[in-house]
Structures are given as C-alpha cells and as structure tokens.
C-alpha cells in the first residue's frame, strides 16, 4: 500500500517519448502550457479585480480580460477536438454555454431582460480543455510551478494594495467592486482576494517546506500568512489554519482529504435539514449584520425552493440582484453554502457541485497518478480541502470565484486518468 506517495516512490504511467514539437496542434512541447498560463493570467486579472485600479479604463480592461480568457480557453477546446480529446473539448464549451443558460433561466424566472454582457466572472468554467492539453503533453507539472510564481506575485500585490486602502492612498469609491465595505463586526474597508491564488500559494509553500526546508520558502509562507490576515475573512482564514495544522499533524494529504469529505458530507446533510427546518440555522446565534443577512437568506430559500428545485433560480444580473424574485436586495446565495447552490442551480447542480468537492478531497492521489509529484499533489489537495470545507458557507467551485478554475482542472484530471487506464488495458 502506498503511504502518502512519498517523493521518489511513485511515478506516473510511462508513455513512449514523443518528439517535442512546438506548434499548438502537436502533442508534446510547451505550447499548450504557455497558452494555459496565459489564460490563467487573464482570468486572474478578472478574479483579482485588477481592473478596478485602472480608473476610467478599468471596465474596458475587464471586458478585454474576459474576452481574452474566453478566446484562449475556446482555442484550447478547438485543439482538444483536433487531438481527439473530444469530451474535454465539449466540457469546455458546455462550461461557457452554462453561464448563458443560467443567466437565461434567471431572466425567465425574474422577468429581467436577458443581457449577454453579464456573468464574466464565471469564465473559470471554461478551463477543462486547457488543463487536459497540459496533462496530455506532460507539461502540467511545469504549468503548476509557473502558477505558483503567479501566486507569489499576486501576494505581493495584495499586501501592497491592502496597505494602500488602509492608509487612504486608494479611493475606495473608485474601486467599489474590489472592496469589501466595513461592517459591524469591527472590520474596516478591505480588499476582496482571489482566493485560489492565495490558497494554492499557501499550500505549495507548506508542501515545499515539508519536502525540503528552505529559508526562502519559509519567508514566502510568511508572506501568504500576512495576506490571509489582511483579508480579514474570518471563516476561510480559520479553515486555512486548521487545514495546514491538520496536515502538519497527520502528515498524509490523502488521509486528510478522506476525513474532509466525511465532514463535507455531514455538512451537506445538515444543509438540506436547514431547508426543512430553518430554526436549526447556526447563524441565529451570531448578532452581526453578516449573520443576519445569512439568516434571512436561508429563510427565503426554505420558503421558495419548491419553485426552483429542478432548474434552479439561475444566475442573477443587474443592480437589483435577486430582488425581482425575493423582494429584497440583500439576498446572496453565494453566502449560504450548499443551500445557495441548490437555489441557484437546482438539484442537478447540487449533485455536480458535491461531486466536484469529492474529487477535490481525493485529488492528492489523482495528481500523483497523473504526474507523480508529491509537492504539487499536496498543494492541490490542501487547496481543494479548504474549498470543500469553505463550500459549506461560501461555494467556490460554481463559477463566480477563482476556485472554478480548479474545479475544471479536477475534471481534466479525471478524464486524463480514465484515458491512461484505457491505454494500459489496450496494451
């Protein structure tokens, strides 16, 4: 039995070496990895709210980033089709089409006219094909190291920008989309964070320290720790701390993932009970504004889910959010965990989301099977473990956050390993 797939003990299934051709349509080489990294950079521009810091040109820059990301991911889908990765290609296109589908469902339910320029932050749902290409080319390992570099760069930016907001160098009114406003829990204005960049950076740093101690990596771990403190996001910061401590104690990412999924499954069952009996709502015991909004949101879902359980209410757009359906502006499905997934996407969406969380909790072995790299496998697993737990309060795989990129990566891993097993059987 493999114990945590320690370094050097496992290698990915062997394939015959292919010529390292450079063009995108060829199997092998770094071309697809460059394409994927470019898409990760443009998507990060959207999820990190960089456009908000560009003044009047910000909205144009945001649209350009969204369109560029879509162009890159759809190029990846086309290359997948050419190479015979048909399912990966179809899932990439379906991810894009699903955004318009749930925008349209909301339009039908609410009567708000459908607009094509909504839902740009859901662009992460289109990444399956690009990750599938890097797995086929055996450049996934290289890509994830590049991604760590992007995470480090973002951490420096986030700390600097957060400090600028706190001392008044940045006008918070001019970066409204990027700012979380002060609340009655004692938190001041603070920046939204691109959680995937901070999470993967933290996980990779911890995994690297476990593999081989380095003062440089220790300093980078401290950098990400400061970023989590700067976010002032209590729930996810606590989960990051607990997950990293759990890994330090158990020293087995695969086992930690299995334990996490048990907790997730229990949380899912409790979430469904909340719909039946809202009086079980744990937010009733907290007195701040955030808890009050979540309490009201759960009550609304409990009363109205009978109308949306099959197709979901859809993805809202416009300044009124879900007010056409609920009668109030302060209703946010993304803040009430799996109940919000059920409300937005219906029962099939809830099942799909739960499956993604399962894949995330089991991702350590999947990455090891695919590339045999302990550090990257641990970094991915720790990231996904936090996301699974955090999904009980704030889902991250459903497209509206940077975590959706990793959700599509998990699907690409499943498709790749399935293809590898089929290849071995034919041999």
Distance of alpha carbon 378 from alpha carbon 249, whole angstroms:
14
Q: Please, what is the average pLDDT of the chain? A: 87
Q: Is residue 35 predicted with pLDDT exceeding 50?
A: yes
Per-residue model confidence as pLDDT tens digits over 192-209? 889 999 999 999 999 999
Q: Which helix (H) or strand (E) holds 18?
A: none
Distance of alpha carbon 75 from alpha carbon 361, whole angstroms:
30
Q: Is residue 287 predicted with pLDDT exceeding 80?
A: no
- Comparing 8-17, 98-107, 272-281, the range with the smallest average pLDDT is 8-17
Per-residue model confidence as pLDDT tens digits over 330-348? 888 888 999 999 999 999 9
Give pLDDT, residue 171: 64
Q: What SS3 state is found at 190?
A: strand
pTM (predicted TM-score):
0.89
Give pLDDT, residue 116: 61
Give pLDDT, residue 121: 84
Give pLDDT, residue 14: 43
Q: Give one DSSP letter per residue of 340-392, joined into a string.
A: HHHHHHHHHHHHHHHHHHHHHHTHHHHHHHHH--HHHHHHHHHHHHHHHHHTT
CB-CB contact of 405 with 397 (8 Å): no
Compute the Cα dihedral for 357, 408, 159, 206 and give only its sign: positive
Per-residue model confidence as pLDDT tens digits over 42-51? 999 999 888 8
Per-residue model confidence as pLDDT tens digits over 212-247? 889 999 999 999 999 999 998 888 999 999 999 999
Give pLDDT, residue 52: 80
- Comparing 4-8, 45-49, 140-144, 205-209, the range with the smallest average pLDDT is 4-8
- CA dist 148 → 31, 294, 362, 380 (Å): 19, 34, 21, 11
């Amino acid at each position: 039995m493999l114990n945590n797939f320690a370094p050097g003990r496992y290698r990915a299934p062997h394939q015959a070496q292919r010529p390292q051709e450079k063009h995108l349509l060829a199997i092998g080489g770094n071309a697809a990895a460059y394409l994927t990294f470019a898409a990760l950079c443009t998507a990060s521009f959207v999820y990190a709210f960089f456009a908000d810091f560009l003044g009047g040109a910000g909205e144009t820059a945001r649209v350009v980033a969204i369109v560029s990301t879509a162009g890159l991911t759809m190029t990846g889908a086309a290359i997948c089709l050419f190479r015979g990765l048909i399912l990966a290609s179809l899932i990439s296109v379906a991810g894009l089409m699903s955004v318009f589908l749930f925008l349209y469902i909301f339009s039908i339910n609410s009567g708000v006219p459908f607009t094509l320029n909504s839902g740009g932050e859901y662009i992460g749902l289109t990444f399956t094909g690009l990750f599938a290409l890097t797995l086929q080319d055996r450049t996934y390992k290289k890509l994830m190291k590049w991604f760590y570099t992007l995470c480090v760069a973002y951490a420096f930016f986030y700390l600097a920008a957060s400090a600028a907001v706190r001392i008044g160098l940045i006008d918070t009114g001019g970066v409204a989309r990027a700012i979380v406003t002060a609340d009655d829990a004692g938190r001041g204005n603070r920046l939204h964070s691109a959680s995937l960049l901070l999470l993967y950076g933290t996980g990779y740093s911890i995994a690297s320290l476990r593999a081989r101690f380095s003062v440089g990596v220790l300093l980078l771990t401290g950098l990400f720790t400061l970023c989590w403190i700067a976010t002032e996001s209590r729930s996810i910061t606590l989960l990051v701390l607990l997950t990293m401590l759990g890994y330090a104690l158990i020293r087995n990412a695969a086992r930690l993932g299995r334990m996490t999924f048990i907790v997730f499954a229990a949380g899912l069952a409790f979430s469904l009970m909340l719909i039946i009996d809202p009086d079980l709502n744990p937010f009733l015991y907290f007195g701040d504004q955030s808890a009050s909004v979540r309490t009201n949101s759960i009550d609304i879902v409990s009363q109205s889910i009978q109308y949306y359980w099959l197709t979901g209410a859809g993805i809202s757009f416009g300044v009124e959010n879900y007010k056409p359906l609920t009668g109030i502006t302060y209703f946010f499905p993304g803040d009430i965990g799996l109940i919000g997934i059920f409300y937005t996407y219906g029962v099939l969406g809830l099942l799909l989301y739960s499956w993604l969380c399962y894949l995330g909790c089991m991702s350590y072995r999947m990455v090891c099977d695919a590339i045999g790299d302990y550090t990257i496998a641990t970094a991915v697993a720790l990231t996904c473990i936090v996301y699974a737990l955090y999904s009980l309060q704030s889902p991250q795989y459903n497209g509206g956050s940077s975590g959706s990129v990793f959700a599509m990566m998990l699907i690409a891993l499943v498709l790749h390993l399935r293809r590898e097993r089929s290849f071995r059987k034919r041999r």
